[in-house]
Amino acid sequence: MFGSGMTSASARGRLVDKLAAQNLATPEVLEILREVPRHVFVDEAIAHRAYDDTVLPIGFQQTISQPTIVAMMTNAAAGVADRSRALEIGTGCGYQTAVLSRLFDEVYTVERIEPLQLRARRTLANLEITNVTFKFADGHDGWPEYSPFNVVIGTASAEEVPTSLCNQVALDGRLIMPVDNQVYVGQSLVQWERTESTFRKSNLCGVRFVPMLRGVEATP
């Protein structure tokens, strides 16, 4: 589906083989990571590092998440029974968005830095991905018009989960995002599952994400 040179396809394959060896995700999720090119989401100057299992800069002091973490978050997202709608807070370069677009019927994604959002739009259009709706806004409020979502994914770390995001999770849905640790330095990737009566919380792993900030930064 996504055209790319042999070199990057084989490099991507080797990266996904490493992720597979760590049992981080189901075969379905690994197959998606094998198909979605990561190098087209970063600057050409660093594209040769796109298939290292590492965070890379995407400008505006932001980063594209590490493949290991994308695999884990996507795997958690894929575990819901109903894959109608996902909401992502923090589009960044749009790589996680593109991966989610292969799992969910509709993906809604919110970014507070306008030039990043515009670039992500272009990259996804070039990949002929048509089931993603973008919004330039502060994601703290989620996207109530399209809620509830079967999955809400946050790719920036907050002191605590914004209440409006919890409110927009569908029954049996999941909210997956990094949250600052209260007791020691660092962040935890946390998953909340919405049941009839409560949210069931589980910690997935320790992580290091950029902070979730207030307000927006428009193109000058």
Chain residues that interact with ligand SAH, rule: CB under 6 A: 58, 62-65, 89-90, 92-93, 95-96, 110-113, 116, 138-140, 155-156, 210, 212-213
Nearer to ligand SAH, 155 or 168 (CB): 155
Which is nearest to 19 in space by CA: 94, 70, 57, 80?
70
Nearer to ligand SAH, 160 or 196 (CB): 160
The least CB distance from residue 198 to ligand SAH, in Å, is 26
The least CB distance from residue 195 to ligand SAH, in Å, is 27
The least CB distance from residue 135 to ligand SAH, in Å, is 9
Verify whether residue 164 is a known catalytic residue: no
**Catalytic option among 8, 65, 101, 197:** 65
Burial of residue 217 (CB within 10 Å: 0-12, 13-18, 19+) is middle
Nearer to ligand SAH, 95 or 192 (CB): 95
The least CB distance from residue 120 to ligand SAH, in Å, is 8
Nearer to ligand SAH, 11 or 70 (CB): 70
* Buried b / exposed e along 138-170 (16+ C-beta atoms within 10 A): bbbebbeeebbbbbbbbbbbbeebbeebeebbb
**What residues are labeled active site?**
65
